[in-house]
């Protein structure tokens, strides 16, 4: 219990200290690689997310999912998972799946979670993605763009994100 509190405090400190890199003015808003970080409760939305991403030309083999599952196992889901136990007391992790996800320079990172869980915020803030988008009430300082939503409808939310991103292109 105490160790979990220490881990969360260290992760939160890292989130607060991380500066969101400015978006390159020449960024063209085309997405060939996409990372999606989400919580376990939203895993049922993976198929709808995949369909929406395919509609805009993203190949499924170029989409990675990282699920914060609080220790539960994921069945029938092609995604990597992590939990608070994957971090040490200073807020670092050696888990290969987390390190690979945050180090990959995705064209787009989608933060698809409704609660500001510290490990999810940490992954978003540490990601090397070029353009980060999220849904509210996610802390906006970790994303370049945050879409306010009233319901966690993956298909509709992804399509709305793409509509707004297309407006950025103009």
C-alpha to C-alpha distance for 101 and 94, rounded to whole angstroms: 12
Write down the pLDDT at residue 65.
Answer: 93
pTM of the model: 0.86
* pLDDT tens column, 31-85: 899 999 998 888 877 888 888 888 888 999 999 999 998 555 566 667 899 999 9
* 167 vs 54 pLDDT, higher one: 54
Write down the pLDDT at residue 107.
Answer: 94
Write down the pLDDT at residue 75.
Answer: 63
* 28 vs 101 pLDDT, higher one: 101
* pLDDT tens column, 91-104: 889 999 999 999 99
* pLDDT tens column, 145-165: 888 776 777 777 778 887 877
Domain residues of the chain, as ranges? 2-20+30-169
Assign domain 2-20+30-169 to a CATH class. Answer: alpha beta
C-alpha to C-alpha distance for 119 and 117, rounded to whole angstroms: 6
Q: How confident is the model at residue 136 (pLDDT cuts 50, 70, 90)?
A: low
The secondary structure of 44-106 as a DSSP string is GGHHHHHHHHHHTT--GGGEEEEEE-TTPPP-S---EEE-GGGB-TTS-B--HHHHHHHHS--
Q: How confident is the model at residue 14 (pLDDT cuts 50, 70, 90)?
A: confident
Write down the pLDDT at residue 128.
Answer: 96
**pLDDT beyond 80 at 137:** no
């Amino acid at each position: 219990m105490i160790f979990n509190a220490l881990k969360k405090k260290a992760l939160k400190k890292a989130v607060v200290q991380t500066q969101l890199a400015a978006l390159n003015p020449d960024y063209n808003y085309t997405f060939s690689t996409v990372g999606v970080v989400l919580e376990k409760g939203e895993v049922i939305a993976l198929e709808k997310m995949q369909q929406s991403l395919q509609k805009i030309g993203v190949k499924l083999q170029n989409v990675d999912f990282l699920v914060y599952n609080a220790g539960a196992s994921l069945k029938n889901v092609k995604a990597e998972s992590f939990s608070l136990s994957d971090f040490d007391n200073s807020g670092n992790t050696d888990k290969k799946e987390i390190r690979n996800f945050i180090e990959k320079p995705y064209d787009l990172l989608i933060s698809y979670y409704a609660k500001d869980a510290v490990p999810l915020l940490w992954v978003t803030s540490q990601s090397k993605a070029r353009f980060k988008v999220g849904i509210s009430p996610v802390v906006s300082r970790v994303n370049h763009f945050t879409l306010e939503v009233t319901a966690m409808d993956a298909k509709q939310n992804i399509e709305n994100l793409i509509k707004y991103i297309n407006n950025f292109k103009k």
